[in-house]
Amino acid sequence: MFRGLIPFSNGSRDVENFFEKMFEDHFGFPTLSTGMKVDIKENEKEYILEAEIPGANKEQIHIDYQNNYLTISVENINEVKEERENYIRRERKVGKSSRSFYIENIQHDNIFAKYENGILKVVLPKDENHRKRKRIEIQ
């Protein structure tokens, strides 16, 4: 049963996503979300989180685990020249993005991450000792 990973996002981002899906710009292209897209899989031994982070290098990606929260943050510091060019559409941005997930019952010392071809893969091994159920006798 999937209960260990609960995504948290900025509430204003949810509202923005709603409007992005409703409206298209006047050139007919759907507006793309700037948020990090994440897939989460679970098997008996681990959770596997895969995040789309195109255009970054691994030095720009930070993964922190603290107080049962896994946070993935990206700081895209690529230089963007602001010369007045004839842009019709400009979606590539400079800035920060992050996603946090509440995760319990994992072996935090054995978290593994790999970044390849714009996809960050984070493997979170489950803590089998923590998952054991114990019935408490009432006296």
Instruction: Give the domain 5-129 fold.
Output: Immunoglobulin-like (2.60.40)
How do the pLDDT tens digits run along the chain, 139 residues long?
444 565 655 555 555 555 555 444 444 444 444 578 999 999 999 999 999 998 888 999 999 999 999 999 998 765 556 566 677 776 766 678 899 999 888 998 999 999 999 999 999 999 987 756 677 889 8
N-to-C CA span, the chain? 31
- The full 3-state SS of 42-103, as one line of letters, equals ECCCEEEEEEECCCCCHHHEEEEEECCEEEEEEEECCCCCCCCCCCCCCCCCCEEEEEEEEE
